[in-house]
Amino acid sequence: MDLFARACRLQLTAIVYGHRGASIELPENTLEAFQRALELGADAIETDVHVTSDGHVVIHHDDTGARMACARRAVAECSLEEVQRWNVGFGFRDRRGAGISDSSYRAPTLEEALAAFGDVRFNIDIKTHRAVDSVLRVVERAEASDRVLLTSFHDDVTRAIRLLGYRGRTGLARGEALRALALPAWAPRAVRPAGDHIQLPVEISGVRLARPRVIRRLQALGYRVDFWVINDPRLAIATVAAGADGVMTDDPRTIVPAVHVENL
């Protein structure tokens, strides 16, 4: 039985996160990319945040605007006004590798995004420790902690999120995830890294993580298990068939129908 037939037979489904929105179709981390991902059936938006020099939380992946906006200054060195003058569509390339002439794409604030998509779940990767306080204030003002998962690659950031009493879900940082991967399913709760989601690549250094045994063990430890970034529908189906709770993709148009098999 092939993977697609197996997924259909088992009626498997998982959360599909639009990775920086539908970033294969529109410039990443823009309101337009988020809207497109949702129109294509994504269940949640995965995005990234920095804080500007004047304290605003802005949605942008890189430390600087060089890749997406041909602006070499760091977000942290710029005011919000300066960042929002950037054309973040400059670095976009479509499926054929072609750019776009539209220069209207801007980096939104987190506040704008939460307001624009008031009932949508967000997975927010906080890029720097400096941004933690500001992010928590924005999420609290928006009364959005029930739909916002906060995470980071940096252990000091996730620790700060929890120490400051964030009421919503948190993900495991890189070091925390590596410790969780090393634990047996019966490990005492006291030694398990705090957090609700563990988000992993499909494989690390040739070792496949998207396997039933690995996923079941992490779920037994109390984590939801998500994988990134998957743009191949067969890989998405295999990952969900292995038991994954969620997959992140740049390409919701392709991955949503593969993963949400009950809709076919």
Residue 127 near residue 66 (C-beta atoms within 8 A): no
In what helix (H) or strand (E) does residue 212 lie, and over which residues does it extend? helix 212-220
Phi-psi region of 244 (alpha: psi -120 to 50; beta: other; left: phi over 0): beta
pLDDT at 2: 54
* Pick from 3-7, 175-179, 194-198, 202-206: least confident: 3-7
Domain that holds residue 159: 3-263
State the pairing for strand pair 44-51/15-19: parallel
Determine the angle formed by the axes of helices 174-181 and 212-220, rounding to 10 degrees.
100
Q: Can you tell me the distance from the alpha carbon of 64 to that of 250, in angstroms, rounded to the nearest whole number? A: 21
pLDDT at 260: 85
Mean pLDDT calculated for residue range 187-209: 95
Mean pLDDT calculated for residue range 161-167: 97
Q: What is the mean pLDDT of the chain?
A: 94
State the pairing for strand pair 57-59/246-249: unpaired
Q: pTM value?
A: 0.93
pLDDT at 1: 43
pLDDT tens across 200-245, in order?
Answer: 999 999 999 999 999 999 999 999 999 999 999 999 999 999 999 9
Residue 190 has pLDDT above 60, yes or no: yes
**Helices first, then strands: H and E counts in the chain:** 11, 12
pLDDT tens across 100-120, in order?
Answer: 999 999 999 999 999 999 999
Q: Identify the band that residue 13 occupies on the pLDDT scale cut at 50, 70 and 90.
A: confident
pLDDT at 165: 96
pLDDT at 44: 98
Residue 247 has pLDDT above 90, yes or no: yes
Q: Per the residue annotation, which of 19, 50, 60, 260 is the catalytic one?
A: 19
> Is 61 noted as a catalytic residue in this protein?
yes
Residue 32 has pLDDT above 60, yes or no: yes
Residue 264 has pLDDT above 60, yes or no: no
Mean pLDDT calculated for residue range 37-62: 98
Residue 49 has pLDDT above 80, yes or no: yes
Mean pLDDT calculated for residue range 175-179: 97
**30 CB-contact burial (10 Å; exposed 0-12 / middle 13-18 / buried 19+):** buried
Q: Per the residue annotation, which of 56, 60, 61, 260 is the catalytic one?
A: 61
Q: In the structure encoding, which two tokens stand for residue 111, read together? A: 């506040």
Number of domains in the chain: 1
> Is 197 noted as a catalytic residue in this protein?
no
Residue 262 has pLDDT above 80, yes or no: no
Phi-psi region of 145 (alpha: psi -120 to 50; beta: other; left: phi over 0): alpha
Residue 6 has pLDDT above 90, yes or no: no
State the pairing for strand pair 224-228/246-249: parallel
Mean pLDDT calculated for residue range 77-91: 98
In the chain, the DSSP E strands lie at 15-19, 44-51, 57-59, 64-65, 71-74, 121-126, 148-151, 197-201, 203-204, 207-208, 224-228, 246-249
Domain CATH for 212: 3.20.20.190
Q: Name residue, tokens 């079941």.
A: 216
pLDDT at 203: 94
